[in-house]
Amino acid sequence: MSGVTNDHITRRDALRYGGTTGVVLLAAGCLGEDGDPEAAAEDDEGGAEDDDGEIEADENDEENGEAEGIVVGTEAGFPPFEMIEDGEIVGFDVDLTEAVLEEAEGYEHEEWQDMEFGSLIPALEDGSIDLIAAAMTITEEREEQIAFTDPYFSADQSVLVAEDADFQPESLEDFDGQTVAAQVGTTGEGVVEEELIEEGRIGEGDYSSYDSYVLAVEDLERGIVEAIVIDEPVGDTFADERNVEVAFTHETGEEFGLGVRQEDDDLREALNEGLATIEEDSTFDDLVAEWFGGDDADEDDEDEDDEQSVAGLVG
């Protein structure tokens, strides 16, 4: 796995320790020869045994606790789960994944790679990345290609419209030929295809797919499209920050998981153990409060509603 290091200090560091801390990994050294003359002569004749020794040393490193670096892929246009701030990938999924990997025995976070959502599974399959952390819904179709951890978040789909727009739907049944957008490969796109196009509520030409929801929201603000189908927490974030609003929420009850290769059973097990640990030690609750909590700490009812949207966590 990639040798690039990442010195990003996570929010979990601050939440858990109140400061920064570092972990030093000590590589096991190679043992020297015992001084046997015959062994020295054999070494002079060729380097084969040295090569074998290096292989054995590498194996010993793993046995002695050398952590395996994990390259994580995401699509950083999905706030508050993953986004770019000051040139850095941040978000709930970022902090959650790094916290989980801190607790995953035998593994450590190495680097983040940002790419289009539709490229994540191919990148995982070809070894470019080792883990997907991108608010990815666990579906039967995806499970034919990759494996998922236990679910860590539950969400529905929302429909966004421009502020003060003439079109103000209250359900999918209200659509009748409007222009609709979603991100390629998402469950939002699935809702458009299966419940709007196939049901005859809009035509295929009324649907526009985007590589990023950020671009879709920009076109919604410009009036190029009339509605967007998007994951509820992300729709709420855009509604808070952009000139768009949530028209209604469409219940789907989907669950997000971290994605790994189907053959990476050890990694998947370690991640599940890490998820369980951060749920038990309150790290998960701290991250939910940070990324999804209200601005006013006195708004207890609103905060409780936010936390109730995090269903089907780890268990």
Q: Is residue 52 part of a domain?
A: no
Percent of the chain with pLDDT over 70: 72
Q: Say if 237 falls within a structural domain.
A: yes
Does residue 111 have a pLDDT over 90?
yes
141 and 86 in one domain? yes
Q: Give the total number of structural domains in the chain.
A: 2
For residue 123, pLDDT over 50 is answered with: yes
Same domain, 144 and 83: yes
Q: Is the dihedral of CA 53, 59, 62, 65 positive or negative?
A: negative
For the entire predicted model, the pTM comes to 0.73
Helix/strand/coil for 36: coil
Strands 153-162 and 244-256: antiparallel
Residues 98 and 214 in one domain: no
Q: What is the pLDDT of residues 215-259, one digit of tens each?
A: 999 999 999 999 999 999 999 999 999 999 999 999 999 999 999
Is the pLDDT score of 140 beyond 50?
yes
CB 246 within 8 A of CB 231: no
Report if residue 143 sits inside a domain. Answer: yes
pLDDT value of position 293: 86
72 lies in the same domain as 209: no
Could you tell me the pLDDT band of residue 157, with boundaries at 50, 70 and 90?
Answer: very high
Q: Is the domain of 265 the same as that of 134? A: yes
CA distance 141 to 143: 5
Range 110-122 average pLDDT = 97
On average, the pLDDT of the chain sits at 82
Residues 161-187: tens digit of each pLDDT: 999 999 999 999 999 999 999 999 999
> What CATH number is associated with residue 134?
3.40.190.10
Domain that holds residue 246: 156-252
